Amino acid sequence: MALHCEKGLLPFSCREPVVEQCIYCGKHFCVKHGHVEKASCNNIICSRNYKRDRAFKERELWEEERRRVGLERNASNLCGSPECINEVYVACGHCEVLFCPNHVSRCTFSFNTYSRRTTTRVQGDITLCEACKPHLKEYKRDHYE
Ligand SMILES: [Zn+2]
Ligand SMILES: [Zn+2]
Ligand SMILES: [Zn+2]
Ligand SMILES: [Zn+2]
């Protein structure tokens, strides 16, 4: 049986030719029932997933670009922050770009370690640049929890 749009209100109610398959729910859809360029159908949940993924990707691209610029500047012994005139001082614990003291901060956090009988609260810290601060949570989770 040929593929047909799976997004009509009733099964087989939409007779339009299919143009794309939704990457979230797997349904094939026609031009009327989805967004070809996004490979996402018009379902609310799928559209929401698409928006979340796109925001995430944009953030990744932005960080990647920032990292590239930073490393380029580091090669000339300059702080990784664009337009900063200071020399490098310390590396960011996440992106590993070198920065001057003005462009990094020490982020402290606490976490629990468990032994058979007791739970101990321990302090940890990491040096992060501005752009990497949102990663503190993941870092803590990956390394300590
Ligand atoms: Zn979908
Ligand atoms: Zn359709
Ligand atoms: Zn960083
Ligand atoms: Zn700097």
Give me the residues near ligand 2 (ion), CB cutoff below 5 Å.
Answer: 5, 7, 14, 16, 30, 32-33
Distance (angstroms) between ligand 2 centre and the Cα of 4 equals 8
Euclidean distance between CA atoms 83 and 102, whole angstroms:
13
List phi, psi (to 5°) of 136. -55, -45
102-129 tens-digit pLDDT: 999 999 888 888 888 888 888 888 999 9
- Ligand nearest to the Cα of 131, by number: 3
Show the DSSP H helices in 3-104 as ranges. 44-74
Count CB neighbours of 77 within 10 A: 10
Q: What is the pLDDT of residue 145?
A: 63
2-13 tens-digit pLDDT: 788 998 877 668
Three-state SS string over 77-91 comes to CECCCCCCCCECCEE
Euclidean distance between CA atoms 63 and 132, whole angstroms:
8
